[in-house]
């Protein structure tokens, strides 16, 4: 009985700790609809150096990747996105192929995350989600490494310049502690 009482108290601490932290946080605000409105803690248009390169590439790959074969909508959207990189046709084709592989693997990870979302009360779920999120980061890194090996030096430099100067300026990081 004492053991159960202790465990109950410990669980209570967790909840209290969680709720107290929630009340003390400084970077989030209650939204009018009762949800938490996350604030911008890093604005890439003002401090692009605070946006990590790997994060910027992950966003860029997600935005530009299309399935193989792409739908008409994906193809049109991708053409618009890649147009301003001014890559050679060979480099652009290499990039498109690399992005298609990225998309296929990203879909698998996102599907797995979707399945886990249905198990949100399972204590093991947060650990599994963290693992899958790490897989996404690794996938992005692997895609970048592969592109740097297969694109020309000029193409890789153009891509890098675009991501560092343009993409970062369009990223914000939201959040803060709870």
Partner 1 sequence: MPNLRLLLLTLTTVLGGAGPLLGQCQMLYNVSVYSDGSWSSDLSAVYGWSNTVDNSTLCWCTHYSYQTTAYLYDPYGDQVSSTQAGMESTVSMAINGLMGTYPVRGTVAFYCSCFGAAGGGGPETPVDVPIPTTLTIVSGTSVQSTESSVGCPDGMCGNRRSFLYQVLDQRGQPINASMSVWDQVFNVNGQNGCQLNDLYTTTCPTPDTGPCGVNTSSVGKFSDSLSMCSTHCYSMGACSDDGCSTTATQMWFIAGHAVTTDPKTLVYKCQSITVNGQ
Question: Per rule CB under 8 A, is residue 177 in the interface with partner 1?
Answer: yes
Stretch near partner 1 under the rule CB under 8 A, chosen from 72-80, 87-95, 146-154: 72-80
Q: Which residues contact 70 (CB under 8 A, 6 or more apart)?
A: 78, 100
By rule CB under 8 A, what string of x and - marks binding of each residue 22-61 to partner 1?
Answer: x----xx--x-xxxxxxxx--x-x-----x---xx-xxx-
CA–CA separation, 55 and 31 (whole Å): 27
By rule CB under 8 A, what string of x and - marks binding of each residue 73-112 to partner 1?
Answer: x--xx-xxx-xx-------------------------x--
Residue written as token pair 């409105």? 37
Stretch near partner 1 under the rule CB under 8 A, chosen from 20-28, 91-99, 146-154: 20-28
Q: Looking at the DSSP assignment, which residues form a beta bridge with residue 145?
A: none
Based on CB atoms, which residue is closest to partner 1, 116 or 150? Answer: 116
* DSSP character at residue 151: S
Question: Per rule CB under 8 A, is residue 145 in the interface with partner 1?
Answer: no
Q: Looking at the DSSP assignment, which residues form a beta bridge with residue 42?
A: 173
Structure tokens at 73: 């909508």
In contact, 177 and 21? CB cutoff 8 Å? yes
CA–CA separation, 145 and 166 (whole Å): 20
Count of positions on this chain that bind partner 1 (CB under 8 A)? 68
Q: Where are the alpha helices (DSSP H) in 84-124?
A: 89-117
**Within a 10 A sphere around the Cβ of 103, how many other Cβ atoms?**
20
Based on CB atoms, which residue is closest to partner 1, 150 or 169? Answer: 169
Residues in contact with partner 1 by CB under 8 A are: 1-3, 5-6, 9-10, 12-14, 17-18, 20-22, 27-28, 31, 33-40, 43, 45, 51, 55-56, 58-60, 62-63, 73, 76-77, 79-81, 83-84, 110, 116-117, 120-121, 123, 125-126, 129-130, 133, 136, 166-167, 169-178
């Amino acid at each position: 009985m004492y053991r159960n009482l202790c465990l109950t108290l410990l669980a209570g601490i967790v909840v209290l700790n969680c709720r107290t932290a929630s009340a003390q946080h400084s970077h989030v605000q209650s939204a009018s609809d009762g949800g938490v409105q996350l604030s911008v803690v890093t604005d890439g248009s003002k401090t692009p150096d605070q946006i990590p390169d790997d994060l910027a590439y992950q966003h860029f790959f997600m935005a530009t990747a299309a399935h193989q074969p792409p739908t008409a909508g994906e193809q049109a959207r991708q053409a618009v996105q890649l147009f301003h990189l001014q890559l050679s046709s060979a480099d652009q084709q290499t990039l498109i192929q690399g992005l298609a592989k990225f998309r296929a693997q990203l879909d698998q990870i996102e599907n797995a995350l979707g399945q886990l979302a249905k198990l949100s009360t399972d204590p093991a779920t947060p650990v599994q989600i963290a693992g899958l999120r790490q897989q996404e980061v690794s996938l992005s890194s692997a895609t970048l490494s592969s592109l740097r090996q297969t694109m020309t030096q000029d193409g890789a430099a153009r891509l890098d310049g675009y991501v560092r100067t343009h993409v970062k300026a369009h990223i914000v990081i939201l959040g803060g502690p709870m």
